[in-house]
Structure 1
């Protein structure tokens, strides 16, 4: 543990991993769209967002008057006016712009509630004068609000007036969706989906898939490698022939063919990865287990009647676990890269949000041609950052396992050279 703490790369990887895990766990609290995972491909869910706009931080003092920020304004308590003959009006006022010179704004008026709602929409200019923009009779129902698209030039504010019948009170307050030229921390794609939300959702899948598959594949390789070394004979021969078969088979083309023939699934990819990636740990573990089984404490255990099972998984396995942790950490980036490669080719699981799926959508929908850099860079950078994180973590575990160049693994007992 002290060697790991002294490793700058290992501690850097640990801090980055903790940061990524924190973002993944706090994802529902960070993203502006809580149900985006279930509605990623639902057009209606994203209908109020602007399409293919950059993030809000590209809006600075030099272009603040040209780029309007997207957002939502919710109406508060209305101002009520009663008529002499009964009934009256409920008026909501929305402030739209604080700029010295109001810009042209595209917005969507959302009217909720239930029943028929006669509404008058007016814009307010610099001089305070109101100009009628639209007059509509909306028929709305619960869960199905009415929407009215508006385009205003030079408006400071917007007033929404609902006419009330005698004895009728103001119902649900309307809201306004500002369709600006910038939106969110990382912008939106051409399908109006929030990129930052997709990045956070993809992070959770990347960590889950990478860590789980890496753990299973490395533990499988360790168990099979120790078994081949400690049992020997036909077990050794059979496991080495199986290893050679899977090690010599090209992984990516095989995954592409299976993904094209069968329905793509993230869990199917995990199963295929388990079938192929265990070979990365098998041969090193096999060679080290052959060395460890000749140690003095192994021979001592054998002399007092310890069977092959006990010698393999009580004596040899604990000595190889630190190496296994290093291989696990170093295997995670490769698994994430393979999934991203499959998804970029259009053969991934389209029902979940992954970084590879986001890159595929970006390439197919012309993000490169249209220079939508905010759609391409974040998924790619997150894949790189995650890979660097686990690479640094693996190097830290390697220092724990082999602090000195040329050192060889030993068990808990004394080596034969020391007896």
Structure 2
């Protein structure tokens, strides 16, 4: 029995193969790209909750996130000073019926916050509260808002008719200015504005927000709760948000492990099928070869993507089922090449000598055929991954196969549905597209790096 250290593939030891791969520039680049992909996948697996798919599809979870907000770092490029998302929170544990909080926020932005939310967790259906807000502005004026009925976990303050009326009355009393709040929009931005020369301008400086919360059922009191004030920003996070408020950074992050897992598993399955069919057809010959060759020709002629679309519509496939069907429909071309390689090996003189020496067909396949086919099999796996990722991203872009999870293709589908590119929301379109390209380029570069291993003519 040969030792592991003496194992040779395509005439080379594993050490020689590694040396050829690592010594090339393309090999080094592919390793660096793999480090990025694997590192991002591990980070996503550690940081994202196991039920992230269900959270992604729960609009209530994203209610307090800004909608259609660009990344926070655009402030450094544009100089427009968009207000970012701000959250203040306090945990309380009291049997009393009243709590008071005071928060300070520095408004140094040209475009103020969009809205204000009061968040109370946990919130049962039988609990209701009354809230009062007192906001002291940098100019010394105070805007009083309330009473507000709090009956749900998230309460949007600025869009209620009561708050709009109170803000309008403030402007009328302090400035003699008749404020008009556009229909459907929040009155909160005007809390952070002032009147100068007859027009509205941002009022920068320190704001003190006082919140008074009263339990409407004094016998129950406030209890153990987390009470938060959220100022909805105009920019958010590393990658911004979409029309629902999804944090696109989290969505893009979730796509790393899923894309790699789906692509690699597809490539392993399709390559395994191709090796099994190619070896059996090329080595056994006769009726077996004829049947498997005709089956291979049939698989090659099948329009895999079209069939996959039809199956996804009829069977409502998830992304893993779609990957499995894609693997079953995509092994034909590789199997034909492996058959040709196997037929060349079968007619070699050393194979005849092995048979004369009493070697079984299984021993010959394991010790002579497989070591020569493995480099090509590795090449098939590497080039198969980006093809699978692009195909499944295309399905997701059609809102098929895995539409319930934030894949990169799924993010692009909703970007197209909401007209993100036409509306100038580039952060919703460009990053997922670039990540799909990044994964494809990583495996293409890897395929180029292992070509000297597969093809001896390219070795120096």
- Structure 2: gaps (5+ residues): 1-17, 159-187, 193-202
Report deviation, 1:20: 0.8
Counterpart-to-counterpart distance in 1, 2:457 and 2:60: 60
Pairing 1:8–2:59 present:
no
* Contact kept in structure 1, 2:83 and 2:111, CA below 8 Å: no
Q: Would the aligned equivalents of 1:102 and 1:156 in 2 still touch at CA under 8 Å?
A: no
Aligned residues of 1:210 and 1:335 also touching (Cα < 8 A): yes
Cα 1:389–1:100, aligned 2, differ >3 Å: closer, same or farther?
A: closer
**Distance in 2 separating the partners of 1:60 and 1:217:** 47
1:254 Cα deviation (Å)?
Answer: 2.0
Counterpart in the other structure of 2:157:
149
Contact kept in structure 1, 2:237 and 2:249, CA below 8 Å: yes
**Which is worse superposed, 388-397 or 362-371?**
362-371
2-structure distance, mates of 1:232, 1:63: 72
2:62 matched residue in structure 1: 46
Match of 2:138 among 117, 123, 126: 126
RMSD across aligned positions (CA): 2.9
Q: CA 1:166–1:40 in 2, change beyond 3 Å: closer, same or farther? A: closer
- In structure 2, the residue matched to 1:21 is 38
CA displacement 1:334-369 (0-9 Å, x = unmatched): 111111112212333322221111111111221122
Find the partner of 2:362 among 309, 319, 324.
309
Q: 1:168-195: per-residue Cα shift (whole Å, max 9, x none)?
A: 7885352112211111111111111111
Shift of 1:34: 7.3
2-structure distance, mates of 1:28, 1:94: 35
Deviations along 1:267-296, whole A, 9 cap, x unmatched? 331222122211232122111112222334
Secondary structure at 1:359 match in 2? helix
Matches within 5 A, 1:18-167: 18-30=35-47, 35-60=51-76, 63-65=79-81, 67-75=82-90, 90-99=99-108, 103=112, 105-112=114-121, 115-139=127-151, 145-150=153-158, 151=188, 152-153=191-192, 154=203, 156-162=207-213
Give the SS at the match of 2:401: coil
**Cα distance between partner residues in 2 of 1:276 and 1:62:** 49
- Residue by residue over 1:295-350, the C-alpha shift from the partner in whole angstroms, topping out at 9 and shown as x without a partner, is 34322321111122221233211221121111110111111111111221233332
Q: Take 1:276 and 1:129, find their aligned partners in 2: how far apart are those partners?
A: 70
TM value normalised by structure 1? 0.85
Q: What is the aligned partner in structure 2 of residue 368 from structure 1? A: 421
| Partner in structure 2 of residue 324 of structure 1 | 377
The aligned residue for residue 186 of structure 1 is: 239
The residue matched to 1:312 in structure 2 has which SS? helix
Match of 2:338 in 1: 285
Shift of 1:393: 1.2
Change (3 A) 1:54 1:174: same
- The alpha carbon displacement at 1:35 in A equals 4.5
Change (3 A) 1:62 1:390: closer
Structure 2 contact 86–232 (Cα < 8 Å) conserved:
yes
The alpha-carbon deviation at position 145 of structure 1 amounts to 2.5
Q: How does 1:322-361 map to 2 (within 5 A)?
A: 322-361=375-414
Q: Sort the Cα spacing of 1:88 and 1:373 in 2 relative to 1 into closer, same or farther, 3 A.
A: closer
Question: Paired residues, what number?
Answer: 394
**TM-score, reference length from structure 2:** 0.78
Deviation at 1:380, TM superposition (A): 0.8
Moved over 6 A (4+): 164-170
Question: Contact 2:137–2:208 (CA<8 Å) still a contact in 1?
Answer: yes
Kindly tell me: are residues 225 and 28 of structure 1, through their superposed partners in 2, closer, same or farther at Cα, counting changes over 3 Å?
closer
For 1:242, the equivalent position in structure 2 comes to 295
Distance in 2 of aligned mates of 1:177 and 1:222: 58
